[in-house]
Structure 1
Amino acid sequence: MKSLTLLRHAKSGLDNPALRDFDRPLNARGQKAARKMGAHAHDRLMIFDWVVASPALRVEETLGIFLAELEPPRPDPVWDRRAYLASAATLLDIIRETPDDAKHLLLAGHNPGIEELALRLAEGQRDTVYASLEEKYPTGALACLRLDCISWSDAGFGTGTLERFVRPRDIDPTLGPEY
């Protein structure tokens, strides 16, 4: 069994039209959400062996704040350009390349790919956790899955069970519902 946590970047600023999408930073609300989600991961004793992320600024900032809340040692992220605005299929390819000695992978990126990946990994699951994910995967949210495989290369759609889906507003109501 492998554990996979999917983190969507926190809320970014849209107020500077001169910036490329890739270079958009987090806004104050996004920074707060990233900190709260990192604290939540800390409280849940999450330990990541491997971290892969989109190199977009908003993901980089989200991950920096999020990981700072965790106990050391923290793995250095692998910045994978393919994860920038990637499809679920591309993200699955990235997952399959994870070293097998890693038990828990944190993958940070963007919608719609992250959401589609979570839904497709756990396709066939019908419960309240899955229904919550189907409703919306907002910025800053975490989806925690258990994958029924020994090697990451065997991960595939339908091989996962969504164990937990946490949105920033679930931890701090001031971070929703329009979030």
Structure 2
Amino acid sequence: MRLILMRHAKSDWSLDQEDHERPLNPRGKASAHILGEWLRAESYLPDEVLCSTSERTRETLALLQLTAPVRFERDLYLGSPEVLLDVLRGATGRVVLMLGHNPGIAALAARLTDIRPSHVRFRDYPTGATLIVDFDTADWADLLPGTGHARDFVIPRELMSV
């Protein structure tokens, strides 16, 4: 099983909107687009997407241009790592993209991996940060913390500089 754990792209703080309704800013839109290109180039394509209901996660997802079925989950909006893990345990795909927010996404990434990526930005998990992690399990319901093998970790800024 494979998990693609992604934090939403950079949002726009210039508008006077509630947090849940904040859209992406221009850099966030470019980041989401390039993350989608990277996922396709590396063949990291999900067959199921679990996405927060916030505007910025929905917009990030749309710009990734993926074809997998999507389940929008309100619990992924600012959810704790325990809540995120509970939602993930209900997944049915073999390759699942979970798209959410910090601090939950960063904490979940750290809890799931047996050895954390050595990337300097893994700890703070900036906007658009994406972890690819593999698990030796046949069912998400059986997923245990500390059993994931980090395969890749990227941030949009690195992709944009190539």
- Tell me whether 1:54 sits opposite 2:47 in the alignment: no
Match of 1:128 in 2: 118
Match of 1:164 in 2: 152
State the TM-score, normalizing by the size of structure 1: 0.86
> In structure 2, what is the Cα distance between the partners aligned to 1:172 and 1:133?
18
- Tell me whether 1:28 sits opposite 2:17 in the alignment: no
Confirm or deny: 8 A CA contact 2:110 2:116 kept in the other structure. Answer: no
Alpha-carbon deviation of 1:173?
Answer: 3.0
Match of 2:69 in 1: 76
Cα distance per residue 1:55-113 (max 9 Å; x no partner): 100000000001x1x4xxx12310001100011100000110012xx210000000010
Match of 2:84 in 1: 91
Select the structure of larger CA radius of gyration: 1
The alignment covers a number of residue pairs equal to 162
SS at match of 2:126: coil
> In structure 2, what is the Cα distance between the partners aligned to 1:167 and 1:161?
18
Confirm or deny: 8 A CA contact 2:5 2:109 kept in the other structure. Answer: yes
> In structure 2, what is the Cα distance between the partners aligned to 1:57 and 1:160?
29
Alpha-carbon deviation of 1:127?
Answer: 5.3
Match of 2:14 in 1: 15
State the TM-score, normalizing by the size of structure 2: 0.94
SS at match of 2:6: strand
Cα distance per residue 1:36-60 (max 9 Å; x no partner): 1100011111221110110100000
> In structure 1, what is the Cα distance between the partners aligned to 2:35 and 2:3?
16
> In structure 1, what is the Cα distance between the partners aligned to 2:23 and 2:121?
27
| Aligned-pair Cα RMSD in Å | 1.5
SS at match of 1:139: coil
Q: Which of 22-31 and 164-173 deviates more?
A: 164-173
| Residue from 141, 144, 147 that aligns with 2:135 | 147
Q: Give the unaligned 5+ runs of structure 1.
A: 175-179
Q: Which of 146-155 and 54-63 deviates more?
A: 146-155
Alpha-carbon deviation of 1:132?
Answer: 4.4
Cα distance per residue 1:102-134 (max 9 Å; x no partner): 210000000010010000001x415524x5412
